[in-house]
Chains A and B, each alone.
Chain A
Amino acid sequence: MKQDAILITSLDNVATALRDMEAGQACHFLKGEQAVSVVVQDAIVYGHKFAVVDILKGADIIKYGEVMGRATADIPRGAHAHVQNIESLRGRGDLKHKGGT
């Protein structure tokens, strides 16, 4: 199967598009050895990510099987997962001023 996206480990909750996808398109990829598909809710350009499961606000974003940030809003399955709904947990000098962690 030629994949439209890549899910690096089965633990990941975001996948990376390997071609430009239009909203409403079914995106095919492998989860482990199992072929799965997700209908993308937004246009996803090459190299950008989308949620492969519903991700709740505040949940960890997992890629490479590791935590790469946190959801700042609910990210429904198939939605574009990027800087508009994911924040870094590191190097956040701004949080000191907001009193957050």
Chain B
Amino acid sequence: MDFLGYARKDGGVGTRNDVGILSTVICANEVAERIARQVSGTTSFLHHQGCCQTPVDINRVTDVLIGLGKNPNLAAVLLVSLGCESTNVGRVAKSIAATGKPVEIVTIQEGGGAAKAVAKGILLAQAMVTAASELKRELFPICKLVLGLKCGSSDTTSGLSSNPVVGILSDLIVKAGGTSILGEVTEFIGAEHLLARHAKDQETADAIFSLVNQMENRAMQMGFDIRGGQPTGGNIKGGLTTIEEKSLGAIAKAGSAKIQAVYEYGVRPDVEGLVVMNSPGREPELLTGLAAAGATLITFTTGRGAPQGFPFVPVIKVTGNEKTWDNLKDHMDFNVSSVIDGSESLADAGNRLLDEVVRVASGKKTKAEISGYTSSMDIYMVGPVI
């Protein structure tokens, strides 16, 4: 099965052809956003990090921005810098440029302030869009897809229908030679023994247990029951009772493929197949981590109806809750409530979802792209803001 994507010089294949306006620090967000708003064909990535952080987090911001910039869905990158941030802007630019992608930097402090930086950025971005618009989509096999897996605003239908259907999809893409990235380590708690059985070897299984222990210990150290945090208040209203129940439903979206490797947050997999990425469950940080790891399309299952997309990666919303499908048509892309009422098998729904993935990878817009509900993004930090 093939999709129509954009060939990149480093061998990656994009499902979109945007010019990315990436803010390198929270203080540069507004300039990045103003440039993106004024140039059609651009998209801004904004976040709240990049300064007054410990070195481990500053390095992570730098690495995540590199990962985002390298994502094959971006044809070119404009970095918007304040000029005094801790993020290593030079390293970000150099690393992205190494993929053969055009990269430019506008710096607010050196450039005479926000208005001048916006004006310069607009001109640079316009030139980048002009060049990018000449690229044409070409046919590629689905092994060139990098699929990100996400569930959010889950209810009990997520574990019964939408997550198992995405599990079938993930298996189909992995079987074809593609890559699928599973995150949300918080939602392994209580189901990690099942996931570890899918690990390709003991070392990978141990790495999964280790991630879960770290995540659970972080929650335990706060001295509270994590309920209300996980599962969230919304999950509990939707019928989920414990983190174990949520996890048992959540891991279904990993399907049955062997887990090939475990990676740190935002790190691009260097193997094909199903992989695990260290990450929390919250939408902005997880979606950013998947995009930085190179996901070119994300499936996002939801029971109660989460609206978030991502600035330059299409996010397909899959629900098994017929009430949510009826009530939130503006945000939902794909309905699998047929699995719950018994009118469709999991396998049939999984194949139907693969067809939708190919359509979206080839250019069909998702509801999140159409509604522009894509700006609540952030980078997952391990230490304090200081």
Are B241 and A46 touching (Cβ within 8 A)?
Answer: no
> A66 — which chain B residues lie within 8 A by C-beta?
190-191, 194, 244, 248
* Contact A6-B244, Cβ < 8 Å, known A93-B221, A93-B223: no
* Cα A63 to Cα B190 with chains together (Å): 12
A67: B residues at CB distance < 8 A: 190, 244
Asked if A68 contacts B244 (CB within 8 A), the reply is yes
- CB-contacts of B190-230 with A (<8 A): 190-191, 194, 216, 219-227, 230
- Contact, CB under 8 Å: B189 / A90: yes
Q: Inside 8 A of B249's CB, which chain A residues have their CB?
A: 64
Say yes or no: A49-B241 contact (C-beta < 8 A), given A2-B341, A64-B248, A93-B219.
yes
Name B242's contact: one of A3, A87, A95 (CB within 8 Å): A87
Name the residue among B191, B241, B340 with the largest chain A CB count within 10 angstroms.
Answer: B241
In contact, B248 and A91 (Cβ under 8 angstroms): no
Q: Which of B159, B190, B242 contacts A86 (CB 8 A)?
A: B242
B157 lies within 8 A of chain A by Cβ: yes
- Given A16-B160, A83-B227, A97-B223, the answer on whether A90 and B241 have CB atoms closer than 8 Å is no
The smallest C-beta distance from A8 to any residue of chain B, in angstroms, reads: 7
B357 interface contact, C-beta 8 A: no
Docked complex Cα distance between A75 and B263 (Å): 42
Say whether A8 contacts B342, CB under 8 Å. Answer: no
Contact with A along B167-182 (1 / 0, CB 8 A): 0000000000000000
User: Which positions 1-28 of chain A face chain B at CB distance < 8 Å?
Assistant: 2-3, 6, 8, 16, 18
Q: Is B57 an interface residue (CB 8 A)?
A: no
In the complex, what residues of A have CB within 8 A of residue B227's CB?
A: 83, 88
- Size of B's binding interface in residues, CB under 8 A: 36
Q: Is the CB of A49 within 8 A of B219?
A: no
A65 to B249 CA separation, bound complex (whole angstroms): 12
In the complex, what residues of B have CB within 8 A of residue A58's CB? none
Q: Mark A33-58, 1 if CB is under 8 A from B, else 0.
A: 00000000000011111000000000
Within 8 Å CB of B321, what residues of A?
47
**B2 within 8 A of partner (CB):** no
Complex Cα spacing A90 to B166, Å: 26
Nearest CB of B to A95, in Å: 8
Kindly identify which residue among B155, B219, B245, B342 contacts A69, using a CB–CB cutoff of 8 Å. Answer: B245
Tell me whether A88 and B244 are in contact (CB under 8 A): yes
Contact B190 A68 (CB under 8 A): yes
Interface centre among A3, A68, A94 (most CB of B within 10 A): A68
Most buried by B among A48, A67, A88, A94: A88
> Contact mask A55-91 → B, CB, 8 Å, 1/0?
0000001011011110000000000011100111111
| B81, CB-defined interface residue at 8 Å | no
Other-chain contact of A48, B189, B226, B239, B248 (Cβ < 8 Å): B239
Asked whether, in the complex, the Cβ of B241 is within 8 Å of the Cβ of A93, the reply is: no
- Please determine whether B241 and A86 come into contact, CB atoms closer than 8 angstroms: yes
Proximity bits, B338-372, A CB within 8 Å = 1, else 0: 00111000000000000000000000000000000
Contact B224 A90 (CB under 8 A): no
Decide if B303 is an interface residue (CB 8 Å cutoff).
yes
List 28 interface pairs A-B (beta carbons < 8 Å), by A numbering.
A16-B156, A16-B160, A46-B323, A47-B155, A48-B156, A48-B239, A63-B248, A66-B248, A67-B244, A68-B242, A68-B245, A82-B239, A82-B241, A83-B227, A87-B225, A88-B190, A88-B227, A88-B241, A88-B242, A89-B242, A90-B189, A90-B190, A90-B226, A91-B219, A93-B221, A93-B226, A94-B223, A94-B224
Chain B interface (Cβ < 8 Å from any Cβ of A): 155-157, 159-160, 189-191, 194, 216, 219-227, 230, 236, 238-239, 241-245, 248-249, 303, 321, 323, 340-342
A-B contact sample (10 more), CB < 8 A, given A46-B239, A82-B236 = A16-B239, A18-B340, A49-B241, A61-B241, A68-B245, A88-B227, A90-B243, A91-B189, A93-B223, A97-B223
